[in-house]
Amino acid sequence: MRRVATLVARGTRPEDVFAAVVEEVGRLLPVDLASMCRYESDGALTWVAAWGAAVRHFPVGTRRMLGGNNLGTIVFETGRSARIDNYAEFCTGPIGVAAGAAGINSSLATPIVVEGRLWGVIAAGSIQKEPVPADTEARLASFTELVATAIANAESRAALAASRARIVTAADAARRRIERDLHDGTQQHLVSLMLELRLAESSVPAELEEARRTIGRVAGELNRVIDDLREITCGIHPAILSEGGLGPALRTLARRAAIPAELGGVIEHRLPEPIEVAAYYVVSEALTNAAKHANASHVDIEASARDGSLRLSIRDDGVGGAEPAGGSGLVGIRDRVEALGGSIEITSPPRHGTHIVVRFPLELDLTVDSPPESWSAGTPADRRS
């Protein structure tokens, strides 16, 4: 129990917890096989962990439909622990037939209930003639709360990750709308006014030279305002990112950097929009940090998309010593990366520059409002409805 509890406390993946639990059950109890199964929305039972003889007869991924007289169906219908001795004689249905073929004689199962809903079942059995001891149900049930905690924790982390990703995506969409409104509205209006001023300037009579100079000066100031507005809108959301994708946007970013920046790698095809936006701002923030805080003289950028992920590498020759937890722009980079399920590695030894490596998965799921289908199962009443 302590070993399993330690895994749960560490946030270990549910699949690893499942495997550890059935192994501990097999070691603890006088049984020949142990399994953990998940109830599916289509009325099937899926094996998610197996130990002992179950590895051969019910490997992970095995599916059997509910129905008949067998432990999986009984637990599903009652929500309580169950036992069947003389399995071959009394069991029916797809699960019962498979258990009989595996030579199981005595078996028991206890439900896994996650936050009030029946999720699955832990089962243990023996191929010996003697029934499994009477206290085995209670000992088996002692593991289910830890399993339920691991599942609930994983579901919460998945829901939180999806929520963070949706927030980032919504914020980027808002930035894009602002950029579009400024570009198509305010900026175009200012350009029209500037053109009218230039037209007025050209039509002023020669004897009104002072008025013409005044109009020209105002038109020049207005032109600078338009340039400033373009810079602002580019900072909000660069139009080239929406129009051309990440590759052209990174090339433009490197060209406009305050310090020399060299871009390696080619990304010609479009990536998921949230990934493109996040990658652009990661590189942009890293370039800003290199120029303003690292006193760098050069930055190398590498970008590649392969094997279902995007990899970014940004290395500068600055002073190093960057502390991601110190309130720098690296905090914002980490938050944005992790919100989309990515990972970030920052190496910054003093006087040896800073190297940032970021990886983004190219498949995103922003729709997790409820526990993932791969973990969740409704109650018996839910399924019958």
Neighbouring C-beta atoms of residue 203, cutoff 10 Å: 9
**What pLDDT, in 10s, does the model give residues 294-307?**
899 999 999 999 88
Nearest to 58 by CA among 25, 83, 32, 35: 35
- State the Cα–Cα distance between residues 184 and 174, nearest whole angstrom: 15
* Phi, psi angles (nearest 5°) of residue 26: -65, -35
Q: Which of 72-76, 285-289, 335-339 has the lowest mean pLDDT?
A: 335-339
- Mean residue pLDDT of the chain comes to 81
Find which of 8-17, 99-108, 148-157 is predicted with most confidence, using mean pLDDT. 99-108
Q: Is the pLDDT of residue 159 over 80?
A: no
Per-residue pLDDT, 158: 64
Decide yes or no: CATH 3.30.450.40 for domain 2-159: yes
Per-residue pLDDT, 268: 79
- State the Cα–Cα distance between residues 30 and 50, nearest whole angstrom: 16
More confident residue, 119 or 163: 119
pLDDT band for position 377 (cuts 50, 70, 90): very low
| Vertex 376: Cα angle to 370 and 379 (nearest 5) | 105
Q: Which of 91-105, 291-305, 366-380 has the lowest mean pLDDT?
A: 366-380
- Record the tokens describing residue 373, joined without a space: 């289908």
Decide yes or no: CATH 3.30.565.10 for domain 241-385: yes
pTM, two decimals, is: 0.49
Per-residue pLDDT, 383: 40
What's the farthest any 2 CA atoms get from each other in the chain? 118
Domain residue spans of the chain: 2-159, 241-385
Q: Which of 41-45, 198-202, 238-242, 325-329 has the lowest mean pLDDT?
A: 325-329
